[in-house]
Structure 1
Amino acid sequence: MLKVRLIRAVAISGLLVLGLCGRSQNKIVVYQTDFGLKDGAVSEMKGVAMGVSPDLKLFDLTHEIPAYDIWAAAYRLQQTVPYWPAGTVFVSVVDPGVGTARKSVVLRTKTGVFVVTPDNGTLTLIAETLGISEIREIDESVNRRPESRNSYTFHGRDVYSYTAARLAARVISFEQVGPLLPRQEVVSIPYQKAELKGSVIAGTIPVLDVQYGNVWTNIPGELFGQLHVSFGESVDVRIFHQGKEVYKGDMPYTSTFGSVPVGKPLAYLNSLLQLSFALNQGDFAAGNKIGSGGEWRVEVRKK
C-alpha cells in the first residue's frame, strides 16, 4: 500500500513539474522598437542579451515602429504575440517617457508569454485579447545591466533587454523580476472598440498596411457578418478623426482586389480576418489623408 502511495506521489509531482515547465521560459527573446536599424542600438540590446547567455535565440518583430508611436507598438504586439509559443519573452521599447516615473514591467499573459516594456499604453491591446496572468515591476536594484547606473536614456538596453535575457535564460524566475503589482491592470490608451448598434458597426483604425496604403480596422469578420453583406454588395463607409468626418463613400465588399477596376475602392477581410478598405493598385490611406490610432473612428453600414 505504501509503495502504491509513493508511486502516486511521484506521478503527481511529475505532472506538477511538467505543468510548471509548460509555463516556463523557452530561451526565445523577440524584440520590437522604434529605433530603426541605422545605428547600433538594436545590436547593443542583443549584445547585452548574449552576454547573459549565448544559448538564447533572438528574433525581431520590427524596429520600424514610427517614432514615439505607442499605439502602433500595442497593435504589433496584439498582431504577433499569439503566434509565438508559451514561454517566449517579448521586449517592446517605444518609450518617449524614458527616465520618467512610468513603470518598467513584465506582464505574463494568460497564454504564458512574457512582455517586458514600459507601462505606458504599450500593453493596452495584448492585455485585452490575451489577458493578464500577473504583472511585476522590474526591480532595477537587481535586474539592471551592471555598470549602467549613470545611464538614464537607454533602458531598452540597460533594463529591458537585460531583464528579458535573464528571464528567458532562466537565470531568474518570473517572481525574481520584482514585486507583484497589487492591481493587475495596465495603462490603457482609449479607443473605439468594435461594436454593432442597430444597423451600424463602429470601430477604429488600429494600423495601416504601410506597404500598400490599405486601411485596416478592428472590426472582425464575424461581427461584420451580422450586417449580412454578400460579395458584390456595397457598404457605406464613414471615417472620422477626432470626431471630424474625413471620408464618406460607398464601395463593394469583395474577396479579392481584382474584383474592382484599377484605382477603385473596395472593402475586404484582411489576413487577420478584419474588415479593411483599399484601392485596387492604389493607396487608399494617402489618397484620403487617413491615419491610424485610437483617435480614428470608422462607421460601416450596408448600403
Structure 2
Amino acid sequence: MTNRLLVLQSDFGLVDGAVSAMVGVALQENSELEVHHLTHDITPYNIFEASYRLFQTVNYWPEGTTFVSVVDPGVGSDRRSVVALTANNQYIVTPDNGTLSYIKKHVGIKALREISEVKNRRENTELSYTFHGRDVYAFTGAKLASGHINFGEVGPELLVEDIVELPVVETVLEDDLVRGAVDILDVRFGSLWTSITREDFYTLAPEFDDRFEVTIYNNDMLVYQNQVTYGKSFADVRIGQPIIYINSLYRVGLAINQGSFAKAYNVGVGPQWHIELKKIN
C-alpha cells in the first residue's frame, strides 16, 4: 500500500540543482505525487545523522509513505541499493550503508529488497556513476509511491539481519549514574540529544529540580563537568543556565536556556562523545 507521499532527505543542500533534479524525476514519473522534504542539510557523508533524522521523523507520517534518503559516500561502489519495508508499513529507499540502523533498532523492518537497476533505473543513465540519488533512488521511490511498481517488483528479497548497521554505544546503568553518548544536536538551538532513554534515566528516580553531575568526554579527554538541574522545560532555569530535560524523542537532552550548549562548550556528536549523569545525594 502506498499513498503518493514521497519524502526526500539528502546531504546535497539547496545551493545547486541536485535536489530539484530529484523532484523533477519524481514528478516525471507521476505529476500527482506530493513531494516533501525531511532535510537536505545532513552533514556531508554523515550516515549516522541520516539514520537518526529518519528515526526522528518516520513515525509522524502515515502508513504507505515512501522515504528516499541519499547520504551516499560510497556511490558507485559495490554497496547495495535497497528498499526497506518498516514495521509501520512505510518504505525507505536508500543505500544499504548504515542509514537503516536506527530504523531497524527502534522502529523495526519487516522486509528488505535490493533495487534491480535493470528495471528500476532511469533510462540512458547506465554510464552515470555518481548521481544515484536522481537516477536510482528518486526514480524508484517515485515508482513505488505512485503504485507503478509494488514492493515485490523492487528487486530480489534480502535478509533483514544482513542490513549494514552502524556501531551503537550501549547505555551503562549503575546505582547512582547513567552513561551514554551524545548522538546528535538539535541543530538550530545547539542542544545535545543523547542516547540515554527516558526509561534508563528514570532508573535514577529523578525529580524536577534535582541536580546531577554531568560529565562529557571526547574519547578520554574531559570536555565538561558541572552540576546541572533537571527540569521540565528550558524556562525552569534562568537564561544562560544549563538544564537536563527529556526531549521530544524521550531521550535525555542537555541545553542552555536561550543559548547553544554545543557552541558554549565545543561539544560534538558521535560514539566518541561520552556523557555521564550522576545523581547528587
TM range (shorter): over 0.9
Q: What is the TM-score when the length of structure 1 is the normalising length?
A: 0.89
Structure 1 runs of 4+ aligned residues shifted over 4 Å read none
- Other-structure match for 1:130: 107
Matches of 1:28 and 1:243, distance apart in 2: 45
1:9-20 paired onto structure 2 within 5 Å: none
Matches of 1:75 and 1:248, distance apart in 2: 26
Matches of 1:195 and 1:43, distance apart in 2: 44
Matches of 1:224 and 1:167, distance apart in 2: 40
Pick from 183, 196, 201 the counterpart of residue 178 of structure 2.
Answer: 201
Using the TM superposition, give the Cα deviation of residue 126 of structure 1 relative to its aligned residue in structure 2, in angstroms: 0.6
Pick from 243, 254, 257 the counterpart of residue 280 of structure 1.
Answer: 257
State the Cα deviation string for residues 76-113 of structure 1 (Å, max 9, x = none). 00000011111111000001111011111111111111
Residues 70 and 151 (structure 1), Cα distance of their counterparts in 2 relative to 1, 3 Å cut = same
Q: Does the alignment pair 1:90 with 2:67?
A: yes
State the Cα deviation string for residues 148-170 of structure 1 (Å, max 9, x = none). 11110000000000001111111
State the Cα deviation string for residues 230-253 of structure 1 (Å, max 9, x = none). 111101112222343322221111
1:167-178 paired onto structure 2 within 5 Å: 167-178=144-155
Q: Relative to total residues, which structure has the larger helix share, 1 or 2?
A: 1
Pick from 254, 258, 271 the counterpart of residue 294 of structure 1.
Answer: 271
Q: Is the 8 A contact 1:31 1:91 kept in 2?
A: yes
Matches of 1:182 and 1:243, distance apart in 2: 38
- Other-structure match for 1:156: 133
Matches of 1:75 and 1:295, distance apart in 2: 16
User: Aligned AA for 2:228?
Assistant: M
Q: What is the TM-score when the length of structure 2 is the normalising length?
A: 0.95
Residues 260 and 183 (structure 1), Cα distance of their counterparts in 2 relative to 1, 3 Å cut = closer
- Other-structure match for 1:255: 232
Matches of 1:283 and 1:246, distance apart in 2: 15
Identity fraction in percent: 45
1:10-159 paired onto structure 2 within 5 Å: 24-159=1-136
Using the TM superposition, give the Cα deviation of residue 184 of structure 1 relative to its aligned residue in structure 2, in angstroms: 3.3
Matches of 1:184 and 1:146, distance apart in 2: 32
Aligned residues: 280
Matches of 1:247 and 1:263, distance apart in 2: 16
Q: Please tell me whether Structure 1 or Structure 2 has the larger radius of gyration of its CA atoms.
A: 1
Using the TM superposition, give the Cα deviation of residue 278 of structure 1 relative to its aligned residue in structure 2, in angstroms: 1.3
Pick from 240, 247, 255 the counterpart of residue 270 of structure 1.
Answer: 247
Q: Is the 8 A contact 1:71 1:294 kept in 2?
A: no
Matches of 1:289 and 1:255, distance apart in 2: 25
**More divergent stretch after superposition (259-268 vs 44-53):** 259-268
Residues 195 and 86 (structure 1), Cα distance of their counterparts in 2 relative to 1, 3 Å cut = farther
